[in-house]
Amino acid sequence: MEPAGADDYSRGQPSALDDDTSSANNQSNESYPSQKNEHEAQSPSAAAAAAAASASAAAGADGEDRTAESASYLQRLLTEGHERPDGYFCTICFLPIEIPVGRHSVTNVCCMKTVCNGCDLAASQLGMYNRCPFCRTPLPHEGASFLAMVQKRVDKGDADAVHFLGDQYYQGYHGLVEDVPRAIELWTEAAELGSVEAHFNLGTTYYDGDGVEEDKPRGTHHLQQAAMRGHAESRHNLGVFAFGRGNYEIAVQHCMISAKMGHEMSLICIKAMFMKGHATKAQYAEALRGYQDAVEGMRSPQREEAKGLGI
Ligand SMILES: [Zn+2]
Ligand SMILES: [Zn+2]
């Protein structure tokens, strides 16, 4: 595939990957049952290498170079991003935050630091109302003062703040007029500055054609970028897409990674694939164990208390 342009997206990897993995996995699905035991014993990277090799094997004589490139991209996709990124840990208790992070934490615009619901509750119990539990800045309310504080961080090139401002435009919050093109512009800038969450938003927005013209390869590319940086929801979506194409082997590998980060729907997906014979019992057991370990690692008495209060 010839690059269509100079930007990262246009290098042709996502669509090539999409096509090639489809054919590769249609092929590997047929032989999957007899490979079960061998597959169970493989490490994730060995499994990724096998999947990449199988993508290579599916290449026609005229597409070998492109397929080799796609296979190596697939291998990277499956071997990178098994750990959650820094921003998904509470800045006070340092524990990983439950998924979805936005529901289980607060991010204050003073410092853009993420604090889990448990630590936020504990700060309130200590009388720290209307102040950021991390930097103790008095928090602005709705509207102009809130946006001015965000803008301050944006002006400093804070990727999370640029992403956050994009969200406000997307939703039309704080007196802003809903503006999807502006949101996309800000998310794109944030993604370039390193925001994983911005890649996720761009991914789902382009993939679903939500306020923009639908562009599934572009959406998939952004989800892949986020997944390779440890974004669990993006990884889960890639698993669901692979499942939808009948690429069960790849679907299991994606969902295994996100289940081990504590993504419940990924565990449910692997269970469903196991029930239909698309995943082995050992894979389901591994996902269940990994998920339970991740959930255990995200528990704290303060978080339990917050949940008990419906926070
Ligand atoms: Zn915390
Ligand atoms: Zn703060």
For 200-238, write each residue's pLDDT tens digit: 999 999 999 999 999 999 999 999 999 999 999 999 999
For 210, phi and psi rounded to 5 degrees? Answer: -90, 90
Ligand nearest to the CA of 89: 1
Tell me the average pLDDT of the chain.
84
Q: How far is the CA of 88 from the centre of ligand 2 (A)?
A: 16
List, in sequence order, every residue forming a beta bridge with 106; answer none if it has no partner.
115
* Sequential DSSP letters for 100-143: SGGGSEEE-TTT--EEEHHHHHHHHHTT-TTB-TTT-PBPP-SS
3-state secondary structure of 309: coil
CA distance 276 to 24: 21
Give 7 Cα–ligand 2 centroid separation in angstroms: 35
pLDDT, position 143 = 77
Q: Which ligand is nearest to the CA of 133?
A: 2
108 versus 60: the higher-pLDDT residue is 108
Residue with tokens 């699905």: 29
Ligand 1 ion: Cβ-proximal residues, 5 Å cutoff = 90, 92-93, 116, 119
Categorize the per-residue pLDDT at 262 as very low, low, confident or very high, splitting at 50, 70 and 90: very high
Q: Are 243 and 265 in contact (CB under 8 A)?
A: no
Compute the distance from residue 118 Cα to the ligand 1 centre, in Å.
6
Contact call for residues 258 and 236 (beta carbons, < 8 A): yes
Evaluate if residue 60 carries a pLDDT over 80: no
Distance of alpha carbon 249 from the chain centroid:
19
CA of 137 to the centre of ligand 2 (A): 6
Indicate the pairing of strand 105-107 with strand 114-116.
Answer: antiparallel
Quick count: other Cβ atoms within 10 Å of Cβ 169? 21
Residue 250 pLDDT exceeds 60: yes
Mean pLDDT across the stretch 42-68? 52
Sign of CA dihedral 193, 198, 203, 206: negative
Q: Which two tokens stand for residue 66?
A: 């492109």
DSSP bridge partners of 116 = 105
pLDDT of residue 141: 74
Distance CA 181, CA 139 (A): 29
Token pair belonging to 299: 């528990």
Which ligand places an atom closest to the C-alpha of 113? Answer: 2
pLDDT in tens, 13-51: 333 344 333 333 333 333 322 232 333 333 444 444 444
CB atoms within 10 A of CB 254: 26
Q: Give the pLDDT band of residue 149 (cuts 50, 70, 90).
A: very high
Do 208 and 198 form a contact (C-beta atoms < 8 A)? no
DSSP E strands in the chain: the ranges are 105-107, 114-116
Distance from C-alpha of 112 to C-alpha of 89, rounded to nearest angstrom: 13
Q: Name the residues around ion ligand 2, CB cutoff 5 A.
A: 108, 110-111, 132, 134-135
Identify the burial level of 87 via C-beta atoms within 10 angstroms of its C-beta, where 0-12 means exposed, 13-18 middle and 19 or more buried: buried
Judge whether 263 and 60 are in contact, CB under 8 Å. Answer: no
- Using pLDDT thresholds of 50, 70 and 90, give the confidence band for residue 87: confident
DSSP structure class, residue 97? P
pLDDT score for 46: 47
